[in-house]
């Protein structure tokens, strides 16, 4: 269990660094979603299932969806009807 916790925490550090260092906003949001998921697993390893459910639903679900909707609204992501350019 210690080993799994250590591996997950290292993954968290790598995720946090790479959110800042990537050049594309879409990649940042997806990595943030993965971060939330790993934090949810860590809450479970720390024996708090209430927090795990809430973190999974809110972090990996609602917050990431709101980020995607915002990115679409400020035209970083484009839909099908507007062309397939990649975001910057």
Where along the sequence are the contacts to other proteins (CB under 8 A)?
Answer: 48-50, 52-54, 57-58, 61-62, 65-66, 69-70, 73, 79-81
Tokens of 27: 């990649």
Q: Which residues contact 11 (CB under 8 A, 6 or more apart)?
A: 38
- Rg, the chain, Cα only: 15
């Amino acid at each position: 269990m210690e080993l799994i916790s250590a591996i997950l925490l290292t993954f968290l550090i790598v995720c946090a660094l790479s959110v800042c260092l990537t050049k594309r906003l879409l990649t940042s949001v997806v990595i943030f979603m993965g971060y939330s998921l790993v934090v949810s697993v860590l809450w479970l390893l720390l024996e708090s299932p209430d927090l795990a459910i809430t973190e999974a639903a809110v972090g990996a679900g609602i917050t990431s969806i709101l980020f995607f909707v915002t990115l679409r609204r400020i035209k970083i992501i484009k839909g099908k009807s507007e062309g397939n350019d990649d975001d910057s």
